[in-house]
Amino acid sequence: MIAYTLRRLLGAIPTLFVIVTLAFFMMRAAPGGPFDTQRKLTPEVERNIKAAYDLDKPLVQQYLIYLGKVAHGDLGPSYKNKDFTVVQLIGTGLPVSARLGLCAMALALLLGTALGAAAALKQNRWEDYSVMALAMLGITIPTFVTAPILTLLLGIYTGWLPVGGWNGGALANMVLPVAVLALPQTAIVARLMRGSMIEVLRANYIRTARAKGLPTHRIVLGHALRAAALPLVSYLGPALAAVLTGSLIVENIFGLPGIGRYFVQGALNRDYTLVLGVVICYAALIIFLNFLTDIAYGLLDPRVRMS
Amino acid sequence: MIATGQTLKSSKGEIKGRSLWVDARHRLMRNRAAVASMIVLGLVAGLAILAPLLSPFAYDEVNYDIIACAPGWWPVQAACTAPGHIFGTDAVGRDLFERVLFGARVSLAVGLVATLVSLIIGVLYGAIAGYAGGRLDGLMMRIVDVLYSLPFIFFVIILMVMFDRNFILLFVAIGAVEWLTMARIVRGQTLSIKQKEFIEAARAAGVGPMGIILRHVIPNVVGPVMVYVTLTVPGVILTESFLSFLGLGIQEPLTSWGVLISDGADQMETAPWMLLFPALFMAVTLFCFNFIGDGLRDALDPKDR
């Protein structure tokens, strides 16, 4: 177990290295630079700015300097958000994004498992069909369509919820973004859950439990649900990546101060360090959470061997 | 359910074997959702192709007299109406119907071309890795694993910035990102196919490895690949719209569903039709692709029913 953990953590280093390298050189290959303005700068000013940020050195040298800094946990200063370092910006943005993502994941898992299990118990009846039709809707309609339409209905026409903004993470401000973010994941979880639940309900031990006269709710809660939820654990990794991607859109639409928004702005403004910082942060997060998922899977399912 | 071993009697009385494909087509045609989806998708594609002929207005024809006007039949009282425009007009008075159809052209074209790119890369890569086996296979699949763990949408965004929103490169960039799953599927299939006798026969007859891959392996992975392709197209359309929505994709005056939805979302308080029509077209198209994909999977994979 410890050996496995160590090997996985060591394995993450080359992956992160590849990500940093790819992102660094791709970003630099983009036309334009962080200090391009409408007005042409005088050559002296431009030279001074570039020297201050090491941008006058050869690209490979810049890359090595950057790698050295990253290894020490320093992601450099943001070129566009003056007076802020990238670490500071991520420090303010990450809690917002994390809170949004975790709430959406929790909602999707709870609601998805419940809906999927209910559909499986009522297989091929109207309850099943309506849940599956809803799930199809949730999967096919993209976040950037549901977000404005829900805002239109719940924010503008009825005025029940605020249309955007973070407001320090107030509950009313969280409802719409979290709902929009959770919707597609809820749909996928419900579909997965229905499938595995139907399979589990046919198993011999469920028949045994029925034969010895256990009431349905105890069969479902005590036996079927746990076994059926197991495949969901391996979906957690992809789900998380999807939520992170979705948060790019949601943060932009609702004007939330998360790191997804910094990323899009940074990419448009050629804020090299900010973009790289966010990529590193997201990549590390995804790798770490995938690792946690694998560990959890191994702990929950004794048939899986860590190797 | 149709048993696969059955035979059909043709009119001349001779016994004809039924291929897997004929069987699959029968099953697909009996799937009402899939057939209806194909018809609807055909309609959308037809409208997109015929777009310039269907309206007296051009997609980029600006008219400042009718800015953000509702269509004539709009049930709610609007600030202004433009009776000739069946979907209303946008924020600079362009005909929304034409714009939605031109958006369909771009979105469908991106979907098809990017899927083709991912198909070519994924199938070749997967088939070569699976057929070669051993150390080369291990190395190639290890690369796929590493690429899998990258946060891909970020790379697409950086690629878009890098190519400065070039329209053609958008296709290629998205396609270059979508091939990973395809490669895995094809490799898995190849591993089982290469044990078959006909591969050995080809090798005994002196066919080279590339010849075997192109002539014998790839034609036999068409089934699962086709299913995955129908599911990749909507995925690509989504990615393109996502980029366009963030302002990183298609540029004015050209348009795509993502751009239209983004513009519509800005104006939705005063002009909801600007959001609803493109959103509707896009949702219906994505629905159709998903139903066709599900139908194909059920049709080609009899054990799964």
Q: What is the pLDDT of residue B1?
A: 41
Q: Can you name the residues that pair with B15 across neighbouring β-strands?
A: B9
**pTM attached to this predicted model:** 0.77
B5 pLDDT tier (thresholds 50, 70, 90): very low
Cα distance between residue B274 and residue B89, in whole Å: 8
Nearest CA in chain A to B245: A144
Q: What is the pLDDT of residue A52?
A: 75
Q: Kindly state whether A191 is in contact with chain B, defined as any CB-CB distance less than 8 angstroms.
A: no
Among B150, B242, B272, beta carbon nearest to A19: B150
Among A14, A144, A282, beta carbon nearest to B245: A144
- The DSSP letter of residue A77 is B
Please determine, for residue B7, whether its predicted confidence score (pLDDT) is greater than 80.
Answer: no
Q: Secondary structure of chain B in the HEC alphabet?
A: CCCCCCEEECCCCCEEECCHHHHHHHHHHCCHHHHHHHHHHHHHHHHHHCHHHCCCCCCCCCCCCCCCCEECCCCCCCCCEECCCCCCECCCCCEHHHHHHHHHHHHHHHHHHHHHHHHHHHHHHHHHHHHHCHHHHHHHHHHHHHHHCCCHHHHHHHHHHHCCCCHHHHHHHHHHHCHHHHHHHHHHHHHHHCCCHHHHHHHHCCCCHHHHHHHHHHHHHHHHHHHHHHHHHHHHHHHHHHHHHCCCCCCCCCCCHHHHHHHHHHCCCCCCHHHHHHHHHHHHHHHHHHHHHHHHHHHHCHHHC
Distances (CA, A) of B113 to A174, B101, B168, B201: 38, 18, 9, 36
pLDDT in tens, B127-152: 999 888 889 988 888 888 777 766 67
- The DSSP letter of residue A122 is T
- Which region holds residue B7: left if phi is over 0, alpha if psi is between -120 and 50, else beta? beta
Any residues with CB less than 8 A from the CB of A60 and at least 6 apart, and which? none
Chain B environment of A283 (Cβ under 8 Å): 149-151
- Indicate which of A25, A97, A145 best probes the interface with B, i.e. most B CBs within 10 Å of its own CB: A145
What Rg value do the Cα atoms of chain B yield, rounded?
A: 24
Tokens read off for A273: 């360090």
Distances (CA, A) of A141 to A5, A105, A144, A145, A148: 39, 18, 8, 7, 12
Contact A155, A176 (CB under 8 A): yes
- Is B150 within 8 Å of A22 when comparing Cβ atoms? yes
- Is A279 within 8 Å of B287 when comparing Cβ atoms? no
Q: Among the listed ranges A97-106, A220-229, B44-53, B87-96, which one has the minimum average pLDDT value?
A: B87-96
- The DSSP letter of residue A41 is P
Chain B environment of A268 (Cβ under 8 Å): 161, 247-248
- State how far residue B197 is from chain A, nearest Cα, in angstroms: 34
C-alpha atoms less than 13 angstroms from C-alpha of B56 in its C-beta half-sphere: 4
Q: What is the pLDDT of residue B12?
A: 53
Cα distance between residue A189 and residue A204, in whole Å: 25
Chain A environment of B287 (Cβ under 8 Å): 136, 140
Region B277-292: what's the mean pLDDT? 89
Among A19, A32, A145, beta carbon nearest to B261: A145
Contact A245, B153 (CB under 8 A): yes
- State how far residue A212 is from chain B, nearest Cα, in angstroms: 31
CB within 8 Å of chain A, chain B residues 24-53: none
Within 10 angstroms of residue A172's Cβ, the number of other Cβ atoms is 10
Q: Among the listed ranges A143-152, B4-13, B69-78, which one has the minimum average pLDDT value?
A: B4-13
CB within 8 Å of chain B, chain A residues 203-262: 241, 244-245, 248-249, 252-253
Q: What is the pLDDT of residue B4?
A: 46
Q: What is the pLDDT of residue A38?
A: 61
Cα distance between residue B265 and residue A164, in whole Å: 13
Pairing of strands B70-71, B81-82: parallel
- Is B287 within 8 Å of A278 when comparing Cβ atoms? no
Q: Kindly state whether A73 is in contact with chain B, defined as any CB-CB distance less than 8 angstroms.
A: no
Any residues with CB less than 8 A from the CB of A11 and at least 6 apart, and which? none
Among B146, B246, B275, beta carbon nearest to A264: B246
Region B200-225: what's the mean pLDDT? 86
Q: Which of A187, A142, A139 is nearest to B279 (CA)?
A: A142
B10 pLDDT tier (thresholds 50, 70, 90): very low
CA torsion angle A22 A28 A34 A35 (round to 10): 160
Cα distance between residue A266 and residue A93, in whole Å: 13
pLDDT along chain A (307 residues), means of 10: 79 81 81 68 77 78 85 80 82 87 92 92 86 85 85 81 75 87 91 88 89 88 84 79 81 85 81 84 81 78 62
Tokens read off for B25: 């087509």
Distances (CA, A) of B58 to B87, B106, B173: 14, 16, 30
Among A27, A282, A287, beta carbon nearest to B158: A27
Tokens read off for B218: 């790839």
Cα distance between residue A150 and residue A136, in whole Å: 18
Chain B environment of A270 (Cβ under 8 Å): 161
